[in-house]
């Protein structure tokens, strides 16, 4: 049985840890509110942008040509994987890592065997995991995007990816991220980023008759890359909100576990203290009886 001093030290340690988890939960809750507001505002904007692009293309009589619509035999694949920079967020990182790794092993095993599956990791945990697995990591300057998250910085990532695809460095680009549903639920998503499917650009739609300046073709050519950057930004915001929700949930559970452990330790401390007092009383009584007999 541990001594009273050892139990007191454990109680002090657990108390200290509980204070940290409480603080981290509050910080995550604050960040989650901001992340929720950002993604709530972003979703209708992204949907409206897609509708505008679809309406324009549906009423455009010419053939839309864009390097981002070009389909090629899939030889080289780029995965854009969204994780976090830090741990202490439950299974958030391990789930996305396993999900992405399973996609590589099942859907792109042939390309992976040739070393033609590369990873652009947004978040240090993903970079570390896939680097250890032996995958080629690109765009490491973008790994810390979550520390400077805004549309201007995400546009740089979008430009980087679009340039690589236009130069035929990759034949397929996939986004892998967590879609935010609520604090305790995040949905793993695999989403094709490039090439942009023509069905999403050219749809059968009796849209409104627009008067366009400049031409419809020029507007569509500008909207396609912009809509792709908005799509990437939305995925990053979804992942950011999911991370904060997972972290808040994990810290809340850790705080509850610390409370349960404290109850057990205090009960053990009281039992040990009571046993020590009883032992001392027995020793005193025994000593008194020995003096009487003497």
Distance of CA 194 to the CA centre of its chain: 21
Do residues 193 and 80 lie in contact, with contact meaning Cβ atoms separated by under 8 Å?
yes
Q: In what order do the strands lie in the sheet with 185-194?
A: 136-137, 117-122, 77-82, 172-182, 185-194
Known catalytic residue at 89: yes
Residue 192 β-bridge partners: 174
Q: Which of 14, 28, 38, 89 is catalytic?
A: 89
Q: Taking the C-alpha atoms of 59, 60, 61 and 66 in order, what is their torsion angle to the nearest 10 degrees? A: -150
Do residues 224 and 162 lie in contact, with contact meaning Cβ atoms separated by under 8 Å?
no
Do residues 143 and 121 lie in contact, with contact meaning Cβ atoms separated by under 8 Å?
yes
Q: Can you give the C-alpha Rg of the chain in angstroms?
A: 29
**Positions marked active-site:** 89
């Amino acid at each position: 049985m541990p001594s009273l001093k050892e139990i007191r030290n454990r109680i002090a340690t657990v108390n200290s840890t509980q204070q940290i988890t409480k603080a981290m939960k509050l910080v995550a809750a604050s960040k989650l509110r901001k992340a929720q507001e950002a993604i709530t505002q972003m979703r209708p904007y992204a949907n409206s942008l897609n509708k505008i692009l679809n309406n324009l293309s549906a009423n455009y009589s010419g053939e839309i040509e864009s390097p981002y619509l070009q389909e090629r035999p899939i030889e080289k694949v780029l995965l854009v994987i969204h994780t976090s920079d830090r741990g202490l967020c439950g299974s958030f990182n391990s789930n996305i890592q396993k999900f992405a790794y399973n996609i590589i092993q099942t859907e792109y095993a042939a390309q992976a065997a040739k070393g033609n599956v590369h990873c652009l990791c947004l978040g240090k945990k993903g970079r570390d995991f896939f680097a250890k697995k032996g995958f080629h990591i690109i765009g490491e300057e973008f790994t810390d995007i979550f520390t400077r998250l805004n549309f201007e910085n995400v546009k740089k990532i979008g430009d980087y990816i679009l340039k690589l695809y236009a130069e035929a460095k990759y034949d397929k680009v996939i986004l892998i991220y967590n879609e935010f549903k609520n604090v305790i639920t995040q949905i793993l998503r695999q989403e094709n980023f490039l090439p942009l499917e023509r069905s999403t650009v050219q749809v059968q739609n009796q849209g409104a008759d627009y008067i366009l300046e400049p031409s419809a073709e020029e507007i569509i050519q500008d909207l396609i890359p912009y809509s792709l950057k908005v799509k990437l930004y939305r995925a990053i915001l979804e992942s950011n909100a999911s991370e904060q929700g997972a972290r808040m949930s994990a810290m809340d559970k850790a705080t509850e576990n610390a409370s349960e452990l404290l109850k057990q330790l205090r009960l053990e401390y009281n039992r040990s203290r009571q046993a020590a007092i009883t032992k001392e009383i027995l020793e005193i009584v025994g000593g008194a009886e020995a003096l009487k007999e003497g």
